[in-house]
């Protein structure tokens, strides 16, 4: 189990470093005011209109970095700061979330796949690790054979679905950022300085998903080795 705690520690440390870097980037680019004077909400509404999307609402949601697009009720949810502020960071986040709305409207394949995985992963992610650990304990008690092994394998299958979800999320997030940056640049919504700030902020936001995906894969491989090794 020492290896497990070491792995958890490394993943947590990298995740914390990336998260802190992301926060510092957004703080930095929140100080670059937009020349056009538009708020995050106004940026989002214009990008929706420019893409011919009129059935999506832009609303404010409490918290910090709580921005997201909800395909169920077709809402672009912007955190209070992003919704109201008029800076490069707010423009980047608002355009990124609208990027997801554009993906939804155009039936982007990776977003469709991720949406189908959501209900399955929301259940499997709660129980996968417990099944693996429980199966290993039962297997150890019975000499590495019997139902314990199959319970652990069932947990691994559930865990693999969560890992798949985290990797499917990557093209969804990167594509949304690319759509956002292309629109900001092509429509002359930002100056070159503002564009570079928006680009850098979204780059670090994407890295949080990359770290999460790598961490999920590392956990899957670790437990996979434990389960398969228990039969030797």
What are the extents of the domains in the chain? 2-229
Q: Which pLDDT belongs to residue 39?
A: 97
Q: Assign 8 a pLDDT band (cuts: 50, 70, 90).
A: confident
Q: Where in the sequence numbering do the catalytic residues fall?
A: 97
Quote the pLDDT of residue 12. Answer: 86
Strand-strand pairing, 57-61 and 75-79: parallel
Do residues 76 and 66 touch, judged by C-beta distance below 8 A?
no
Q: With a cut of 60, say whether residue 232 has pLDDT above it.
A: no
Q: What is the pLDDT of residue 231?
A: 63
* Cα–Cα distance list, 72 to 25, 88, 166, 184, 221 (Å): 31, 28, 20, 26, 33
Task: Report the pLDDT averaged over residues 165-172.
Answer: 97
Q: What's the rounded Cα separation, in Å, for the pair 128 and 119?
A: 14
DSSP 171: H
Residue 185 has a pLDDT of 96
The pLDDT score that the predictor gives to residue 38 is 97
At residue 200 the predicted structure's pLDDT band, cuts being 50, 70 and 90, is very high
Kindly report, residue by residue over 19-55, the tens digit of the pLDDT.
Answer: 888 889 888 998 899 999 999 999 999 999 999 999 9
Residue 2 is predicted with a pLDDT of 73
* Predicted pLDDT at 125: 85
- pTM for the whole structure: 0.88
Question: Residue 230 has what pLDDT?
Answer: 62
pLDDT tens profile 98-108:
999 999 999 99
Mean local confidence (pLDDT), 114-118: 94
Q: What is the model's pLDDT at position 145?
A: 59
Burial 31-57 (b: 16+ CB within 10 A, else e): ebebeeebbbbbbbbbbbeebebeebe
Is the pLDDT assigned to residue 147 strictly greater than 60? yes
Element (H, E) at 68: strand 68-70
The length of the chain is 232
Q: What is the pLDDT of residue 205?
A: 93
C-alpha to C-alpha distance for 178 and 206, rounded to whole angstroms: 11
In the chain, % of residues over pLDDT 90: 69
């Amino acid at each position: 189990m020492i290896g497990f705690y070491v792995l958890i520690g490394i993943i947590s440390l990298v995740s914390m470093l990336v998260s802190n870097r992301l926060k510092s980037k957004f703080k930095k680019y929140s100080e670059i005011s937009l020349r056009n004077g538009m708020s995050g909400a106004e940026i989002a509404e214009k990008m929706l209109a420019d893409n011919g999307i009129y059935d999506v609402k832009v609303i404010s949601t409490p918290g910090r970095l709580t921005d997201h697009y909800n395909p169920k009720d077709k809402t672009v949810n912007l955190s209070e700061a992003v919704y109201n502020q008029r800076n490069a960071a707010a423009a980047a986040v608002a355009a990124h979330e609208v990027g997801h709305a554009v993906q939804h409207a155009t039936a982007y394949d990776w977003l469709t796949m991720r949406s189908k995985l959501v209900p399955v992963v929301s259940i499997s992610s709660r129980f996968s690790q417990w099944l693996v650990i429980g199966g290993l304990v039962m297997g150890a008690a019975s000499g590495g054979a019997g139902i314990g092994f199959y319970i652990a394998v069932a947990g691994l299958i559930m865990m693999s679905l969560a890992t798949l979800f985290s990797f499917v999320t990557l093209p969804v997030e990167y594509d949304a950022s690319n759509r956002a940056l292309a629109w900001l640049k092509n429509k002359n919504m930002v100056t070159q300085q503002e564009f570079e700030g928006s680009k850098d902020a979204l780059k670090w936001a994407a890295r949080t998903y990359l770290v999460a995906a790598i961490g999920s894969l590392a956990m899957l491989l670790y437990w996979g080795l434990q389960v398969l090794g228990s039969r030797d």
